[in-house]
Structure 1
């Protein structure tokens, strides 16, 4: 007896929906919305992700960390830049206990709280309900949000993960960027920040450990 292809694909599509859940309210928006549940939950492991997505879609390899460091990670969809996600483990030896998930540079998926790559400072302020603080640009941690100032985005997302956001600057803004550079914090509504026109360059999900 033959089985319809749609029935064979159904389990995989269900897993993908759990890991990259589409919010019906934003079905027309560019890209899916990441979820902190399903295969990408706090109790995940490399073995579980491998079982969920298959050997062709999951590899273990060294990836870039902070300050030029190389660190081991489970890479989901390594050959598809638009779906690539790097997973880091609290127990690296056992590759278990999800510590953080970092979408690839070309992955346009939004965080569970609605922050999406490409958003402006003003758009993120609107989601947060108030201004926030971010680090100056031009160094390893440049453009990272350092304090949501008690806004909506300070709260953990459904599933218990927290969302980290990092802003970047467009090329050709060197003169303006120099005014917001260095290891210091700025308010998001600072006129110098607004003049530099930062955009959300990357997001990451994290699962705090006791």
Structure 2
């Protein structure tokens, strides 16, 4: 059965064109700025992930998305928070056609975005302001970037997904209504800086592949 479109959506890569040793291949694939190719390309699959990172570092199984949605995903370095990545598949029966990959702290998405960056950092990279979805609900915190270098399709055909998280420990008398719930928050909203809001989830991924039948909803 074909996988449902991921709600997290999006993926990337960095594999050299020339043959390299296995150790160097892994080093190139799980660090630095990624390109949308190779193991992070649209035709990636679980077998390629195992070949790239070593089968002993790869686990495929059930993961949970928003609202407790269950999905099949392939996790690389599951016990290492600094290197952990999660690959989702459009075809979850055959574990093929990359839907998204959640990046590790050691990686940067196309355009240079990394986990832990502030909203202001991402605005600077994008060259344009954008909107952030309100927080503290299942689909909150996602950046809606309609213009700038991070908007739309990136080189190689992937898209960047950025989810911000605010500092949870803030004064009880601070009014956070302007950024709470299903609201649209401008990236220059002062509360974002006041709550030290930073990139908490960073992923890259692809549109539904033409090679697969359209999913039924």
Instruction: Give the TM-score normalised by structure 1.
Output: 0.81
Shift of 1:67: 1.1
For 2:88, the equivalent position in structure 1 comes to 88
For structure 2, the 5+ residue unaligned runs are: 1-19, 211-217
How many aligned positions are there?
A: 188
- TM-score between both structures, scaled by the size of structure 2: 0.78
Moved over 4 A (4+): none
1:159 to 140, 156, 159: 156
Residue 128 of structure 2 corresponds to 130
Report which stretch shifted further, 132-141 or 184-193: 184-193
Q: Which runs of 5+ in 1 are unaligned?
A: 1-9, 22-31
Pairing of 1:106-121 with structure 2 (within 5 A):
107-121=105-119
Seen in structure 2, the aligned counterparts of structure 1 residues 110 and 171 have a Cα distance that, compared at 3 Å, is same
Determine which structure has more spread, i.e. the larger CA radius of gyration: 1
Deviation digits for residues 89-133 of structure 1 (CA, Å, limit 9, x no counterpart): 1111111000100135xx342212211111111111111111100
Pair 1:200 & 2:199 matched: yes
> Would the alpha carbon gap of residues 144 and 66 (structure 1) be closer, same or farther in structure 2, given more than 3 Å must change?
same
**CA–CA separation in structure 2 for the residues paired with 1:80 and 1:121:** 26
| SS of residue paired to 1:153 | coil
Tell me if the contact between 2:166 and 2:192 (Cα under 8 Å) persists in the aligned partners: no
Matched, 1:11 2:8: no
User: What SS does the aligned partner of 1:73 have?
Assistant: strand
How far apart in 2 are the matches of 1:12 and 1:155? Answer: 33
- The structure where helix makes up a greater share of residues is 1
- Residues 15 and 38 of structure 1 are in contact (CA less than 8 Å); yes or no, is this contact kept in structure 2? no
Query: Map of 1:36-115 to 2, 5 A cutoff?
Result: 36-103=36-103, 107-115=105-113
CA–CA separation in structure 1 for the residues paired with 2:179 and 2:106: 26
Q: Deviations over 1:123-147 (max 9, x none)?
A: 111111111001001101111112x
Q: RCO higher in 1 or 2 (8 Å CA, sep ≥ 6)?
A: 2
